[in-house]
């Protein structure tokens, strides 16, 4: 990161021009991806690899700021490095992975929420503001996790292509399966059409349970949670049914979905997939995103 100090009188008229560094926005997940007991050691190892990469990143930034702006300006990064060495933070992350059999993304998201609540409960305003330091560090770790998993196939996660007022866009359907009695939960501020698409996708899987290798009464023993990230943004429209059906089937069968593929199309009960809507805009969105194939 290139840091420059602009000197002058703050109230002087004029225009200052310079380059801006835009960091990738991190949205902590609300999806708890369950892993098997045998996967826990590898997942903890994956977390520590992300922690090591974060330490390396912070050390480089710290030295760069120290060289250009002096040691005082680099103290904030020293504090961030100390946060990474906090045994209660690292131990807490490991405990979530080990006790809940969950991915590191969920452990980071849950830990971030816990520290935010803790700092908000403090009466001292200075210490209350320190929650941003912990959150910044956890976001760096989260970003390093995503950098390694970007092209990995995942269970219960499928990429869909959608049409927006700006053209094509990429939507990711995340599905989690938990023991229950057949409840279907939809989150992510979905409109009426997408809610109906989710119901149709579930009915499609139920009607073809034997074909997919599912028990005929699987819905009586499991609850299905379908989530679309960035829940503050409303989402609606046709052609998301096949994406949700694929993510549901993946989560139920524990079969990963190829993350280099994005899809569009509705699921109808008598036929596999209805015609896709607005193929040209949604195909254009795949060129700006990770998927290398559009279905």
Assess if residue 183 is contained within a domain.
yes
| pLDDT for res 166 | 44
For residues 118-140, average pLDDT = 82
Is residue 165 located within the same domain as residue 145? no
Is residue 260 located within the same domain as residue 214? yes
Assess if residue 112 is contained within a domain.
yes
| pLDDT for res 122 | 82
Is residue 109 located within the same domain as residue 173? no
Q: Which of 12-26, 39-53, 234-248, 262-276 has the highest mean pLDDT?
A: 39-53
Higher pLDDT, 274 or 244: 244
For residues 102-128, average pLDDT = 85
Mean residue pLDDT across the chain: 78
pLDDT surpasses 70 at 163: no
Residue 31: which of 110, 139, 116 has the closest Cα?
Answer: 110
Is residue 48 located within the same domain as residue 137? yes
For residues 241-258, average pLDDT = 91
pLDDT surpasses 70 at 247: yes
| pLDDT for res 19 | 54
Q: Report how far residue 68's alpha carbon sits from residue 64's, in angstroms, rounded to the nearest whole number.
A: 6
Query: Cβ(184)–Cβ(244) under 8 Å?
Result: no
For residue 29, give Cα distances in angstroms to 6, 42, 63, 163, 177.
Answer: 38, 20, 31, 23, 16
The CATH number assigned to the domain holding 47 equals: 1.10.274.10
Assess if residue 30 is contained within a domain.
no
| pLDDT for res 293 | 53
pLDDT category of residue 281 using cuts at 50, 70 and 90: very low
Query: Tokens standing for 135?
Result: 């959150």
* DSSP secondary structure of the chain: ----PPPS-TT--S--------PPP--------B--GGGHHHHHHHHHHHHHHHHHHHHHHHHHHHHHH-GGGGHHHHHHHHHHT-HHHHHHHHHHHHHHTB-HHHHHHHHHHHHHHHHHT-S-HHHHTTHHHHHHHHHHHHHHHHHHHTTS-BTTEEEEEEEETTEEEEEEEEEEEEESSS-EEEESSB-HHHHHHHHHHHHHHHHTHHHHT--TTGGGTEEEEEE-S-TTS-B--SS-HHHHHHHHHHHHHT-PBPTTEEE-----SSSS-PPPS-HHHHHHHHHTSS-SEE-
| pLDDT for res 288 | 41
Is residue 211 located within the same domain as residue 238? yes
Query: Tokens standing for 46?
Result: 């994956």
pLDDT tens digit sequence for 24-65: 555 676 678 788 888 899 899 999 999 999 999 899 988 988
Q: What are phi and psi of 269, to 5 degrees?
A: -65, -45
With pLDDT > 90 as the criterion, what percentage of the chain qualifies?
25
pLDDT tens digit sequence for 166-203: 455 678 889 999 888 889 999 888 888 889 999 999 99
Last residue of a domain, one of 149, 168, 195: 149
Is residue 104 located within the same domain as residue 45? yes
Is residue 67 located within the same domain as residue 127? yes
In a 13 Å sphere around the CA of 87, the CA atoms on its Cβ side amount to 0
| pLDDT for res 13 | 53
For residues 206-211, average pLDDT = 88
- Cβ neighbours, 10 Å, residue 169: 18
Is residue 143 located within the same domain as residue 164? no
pLDDT surpasses 70 at 280: no
- Give the structural domain span for 166: 157-294
| pLDDT for res 17 | 54
Assess if residue 18 is contained within a domain.
no
- Cβ neighbours, 10 Å, residue 47: 23
Is residue 129 located within the same domain as residue 179? no
pTM here is 0.49
Bridge-based pairing of strands 157-164 and 167-179 is antiparallel
pLDDT category of residue 9 using cuts at 50, 70 and 90: low
Assess if residue 99 is contained within a domain.
yes
């Amino acid at each position: 990161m290139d840091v420059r100090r602009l000197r002058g009188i703050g109230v002087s008229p004029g225009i200052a021009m310079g380059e801006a560094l835009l960091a990738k926005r991190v949205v902590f997940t609300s999806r708890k991806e369950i892993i098997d007991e045998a996967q826990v050691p590898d997942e903890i190892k994956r977390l520590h690899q992300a922690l090591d990469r974060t330490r390396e990143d912070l050390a480089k930034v710290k030295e760069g700021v120290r060289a250009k702006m002096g040691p005082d300006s680099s103290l904030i990064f020293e504090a961030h490095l100390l946060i990474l060495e906090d045994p209660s933070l690292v131990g807490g992350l490991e405990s979530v992975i080990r006790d809940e059999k969950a991915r590191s993304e969920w452990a980071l998201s849950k830990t971030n929420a816990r520290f935010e609540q803790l700092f908000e409960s403090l009466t001292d305003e200075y210490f209350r503001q320190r929650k941003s330091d912990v959150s910044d560090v956890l976001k760096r770790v989260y970003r390093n996790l995503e950098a390694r998993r970007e092209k990995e196939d995942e269970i219960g996660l499928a990429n869909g292509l959608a049409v927006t007022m700006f053209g094509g866009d990429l939507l990711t359907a995340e599905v989690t399966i938990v023991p229950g009695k057949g409840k279907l939960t939809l989150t992510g501020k979905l409109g009426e059409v997408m809610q109906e698409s989710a119901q149709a996708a579930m009915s499609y899987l139920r009607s073809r349970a034997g074909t997919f290798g599912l028990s005929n009464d699987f819905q009586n023993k499991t609850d299905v949670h379908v989530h679309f990230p960035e829940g503050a943004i409303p989402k609606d429209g046709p052609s998301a049914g096949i994406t949700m059906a694929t993510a549901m089937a993946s989560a139920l069968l524990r079969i990963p979905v190829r993350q280099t593929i994005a899809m569009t199309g509705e699921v109808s009960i008598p036929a596999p997939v209805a015609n896709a809507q607005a193929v040209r805009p949604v195909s254009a969105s795949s060129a700006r995103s990770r998927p290398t194939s559009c279905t």
